[in-house]
Structure 1
Amino acid sequence: MNTRFSEVGTELLRCMTCLHPRNSFSEFNVQKLVRLCDLYPEDFSTNDCIVIEQQLQNFIHNIQRDSNFSEIKDLGSLAQKMVETLKNQAYPLVYRLIEMTLVLPVATASVERVFSAMKTIKTDLRNRMGDEWMNDSLVVYIEKDIFSTIENEQILQRFQKMKSRRMQLPPLSYPKTTRSIDHTQH
């Protein structure tokens, strides 16, 4: 894991696993979860980091004794059950930490995907590409599965109808050539 992720990334993953509800929260660790808050100062103020320690201790004590949470197997179900039992209001900082832990892998993967696509789109030959053009190109590249379902003719027709066109685009289907090869003469 150390070769795949940076030191901070590895620490982040280790801290996130402390919230997993498996085996009655056997991995639960207040210090690592407070550290997770420290890693995100824009989401958790200094005061939040102080208050959350007590909230985490109360939360784990309460949740492990609550039969509503005995069958919880994953973090998403934990968040859902917290909302159903209104524990998200009793432990708002813990709930924010759970939400962040659920969103981080998706957000991180999306950012990684964009940077990977950027390497393909912005090459040495296209190094003067403006931000707007690059953003548009990235959207098309990243969402190529969606764009592949759109016919080229539809795209051309849409551009033809735009008022700001400098000139009309040629039709997509080109007429057949009038010159044909006569195979009988050869």
Structure 2
Amino acid sequence: MASLSPVDVFSSFDKQKILKLDEYYEDEFSSADLLSLDDQLGNYITNMRRDDRFWGLNDLSELSMKLVETKKCQVFQQVYLLIKLVMILPVETASVERAFSSMNYVKNKLRNSMGDQFLNDCLVTFIERNIFLEISDDDIMKRFQEIKTRREQL
């Protein structure tokens, strides 16, 4: 992430480290995209360092907004995608940590023998409890009855 930082006119830019990020996002980048990304990164850093509109930026969110404002997100599409993915990473990490934390509440020593499907169902209801509080118990029971009936018909 630091290699993409715009601080001090992109002083931390490291093309090789940025290219390693593609390993984490292989579903997002085809082999052709990776070749394009390699080329784009060279053009991107030269362009960014020459354009004084990008000087003085403090973080990736400011950089992404400036890329959109100047429409350079269209010129450097793979780089922009990578910046967006890197910005999402902390949020996704927090979501996973929250799910594991919730699992400790749901699957304690007393319920350690529950199956994966039941554990998954319990986790969904625990993590999304605010949504479930808005739904009446009768509606939930009705929905499960409909599912049960459909399964029996198959």
* 1:102 CA drift (Å): 0.5
Which has the higher relative contact order, 1 or 2, with Cα contacts under 8 A spaced 6 or more apart?
2
Distance 1:89 1:160 in 2: 50
* 1:160 CA drift (Å): 6.4
TM-score with structure 1 setting the length: 0.66
Aligned length: 139
Which protein has the bigger helix share? Answer: 2
Letter in 1 for 2:28: D
Deviations along 1:89-111, whole A, 9 cap, x unmatched?
Answer: 00000000100110001111111
* 1:26 CA drift (Å): 0.5
* 1:132 CA drift (Å): 2.2
Q: Of 71, 83, 91, which aligns to 2:68?
A: 83
* 1:128 CA drift (Å): 2.1
Deviations along 1:29-73, whole A, 9 cap, x unmatched?
Answer: 111101111232111122222211110110010011112111211
Matches within 5 A, 1:129-148: 130=118, 131-140=120-129
Among all aligned residue pairs of Structure 1 and Structure 2, give the percentage whose two residues are the same amino acid.
38
TM-score with structure 2 setting the length: 0.79
Q: Which residue of 2 aligns with 1:37?
A: 22
Q: Which runs of 5+ in 2 are unaligned?
A: 143-154
Extract structure 1 runs of 4+ deviating beyond 3 A: 158-164
Q: Of 98, 101, 119, which aligns to 2:86?
A: 101
Q: Which runs of 5+ in 1 are unaligned?
A: 1-15, 165-186
Which protein has the larger Cα radius of gyration, Structure 1 or Structure 2?
A: 1
- Aligned CA RMSD, in angstroms, stands at 2.5
